Structure formats: C-alpha cells, structure tokens
Amino acid sequence: FSLYFLATHEGAPEIEVTHNWDEREYTNGDNFGHFAFRVDNIYAQCDTFIQAGIEILRPPRDGHMAFVKDPNNISIELLQNGEDLEPIEPWISMENIGSW
C-alpha cells in the first residue's frame, strides 16, 4: 500500500489516503481507514447526532472517543478536543438525553 497525507499548509489538519495495490475489490462500507474529527464536547455532539437519527457505533463512554456511521456506512471517529471529559456510564439512557 501507499499512504498520502493531504493538508492545505504545514501544521494544518491532514487527511490520510491509502492506496492498496492488491487486487481486492472494496464495496460500500468495506473501506480501509476512516476520518477522525476533534469536537469541543463529545457527549453533546453525540447527542446532536442521535437527535438527527445518526447511528452511534461506539458511544463516548470514556469521555474521549466515539464512532458514528455516515449515510454510506462508513465509520467516522470523534475525539474530545483537549482534556477528556469525565466518563459517564451508562452513557445513554432516556433521562440523560440532552443533559450534557
């Protein structure tokens, strides 16, 4: 495989693109890699996604990381910007929705 790192300028956020040289055919939802985005409040962001009907693949139980699924079934990683938030377990219950 070959890796390519794309950015608008030095120090800017990068996108990593992988080209696999084998003959494997990839299908929708069977992609190698994913995007990751830093968010200011991972609990609030996941709550916003839930309210919009977006599936949470891995809840942010640790206050640091979560995964959501985009409309093409691709995983997108969310990372808490700065210090991790205090863990909340269980993360999702009906009385907790919107209380972040």
Domains in the chain and their CATH numbers?
Answer: 34-100 (3.10.180.10)
- Report the chain's mean pLDDT, rounded to a whole number: 80
pLDDT value at residue 84? 94
pTM: 0.66
Catalytic residues: 77
42/53 Cα distance (integer angstroms): 17
23/41 Cα distance (integer angstroms): 41
Could you report the per-residue pLDDT of 82-91, keeping only the tens digit for each?
999 988 765 6
Could you report the per-residue pLDDT of 5-50, keeping only the tens digit for each?
888 888 887 787 777 788 877 776 556 667 888 999 999 999 899 8
Q: Is residue 99 scored above 60 in pLDDT?
A: no
The answer to whether 39 touches 82, Cβ cutoff 8 Å, is no
